Amino acid sequence: MGLKVAIIGLAPSTHADAPWDDPTWEKWGLPWDSTGYGFMKRHFEMHDQRLLDSGHSKRGPDYAQRLKDCKQIYTQANYPFDAVAKTIGQAYWNSSIAYAMALAIHEGAQEIAIYGVDMDGTDEFGYQKANMEYLIGVARGRGIRVYIPPQSALCKFAPTGIKFYDHMPTYVERYGWLG
């Protein structure tokens, strides 16, 4: 069996459901995740290095040391941007989780599972959602199995301030033909 990557974020809806004890999955996540810290094979910290070096990180005063203690960590200084872009095409990556997803695709993962990543708010996670959904589409288009827990908002229509309809008519139902 090929590479299986579990990308694990912090959303409480599915964080606990990750395959923590299954050695067939490589666990990739965030170095500020204290719950899964020791389980992660790779960490992704793609925030601006100047912010991290300044000591003003919202992650706490010991964060720089935690980064040094990671088994393998990707930052802006060592992420293979050009190689990954050649593999998946011109894309935008706007979260550490998206960089993990792009690298999993680049490295030829056969399966990717995404836990603790909902991106369902109107905050920064909300605007990161489209980016992750794009990368999920790239992965699926390449034949990679992508698992998203049912509780996650990824790849779901989640209207805000819009009346939700149980059945949205398809184009054919509405017009009776395909143009």
DSSP 58-122: TT-TTHHHHHHH-SSEE-TTT--HHHHHHHH-S----SHHHHHHHHHHHTT-SEEEEES----SS
Residue at 82: amino acid letter: D
123 Cβ contact list (under 8 Å, min separation 6): none
pLDDT score at 111:
98
pLDDT in tens, 31-64: 877 777 778 999 898 887 776 666 556 666 677 7
Domain borders along the chain are 4-175
The pair phi, psi for residue 88, each rounded to 5°, is -105, 0
What's the whole-model pTM score?
0.82
pLDDT score at 164:
45
The top-scoring range by mean pLDDT among 8-12, 25-29, 52-56, 130-134 is 25-29
**Which is it for strands 111-115 and 145-147: parallel, antiparallel or unpaired?**
parallel
Q: Is the pLDDT of residue 151 over 60?
A: yes
pLDDT in tens, 92-104: 778 899 999 999 9
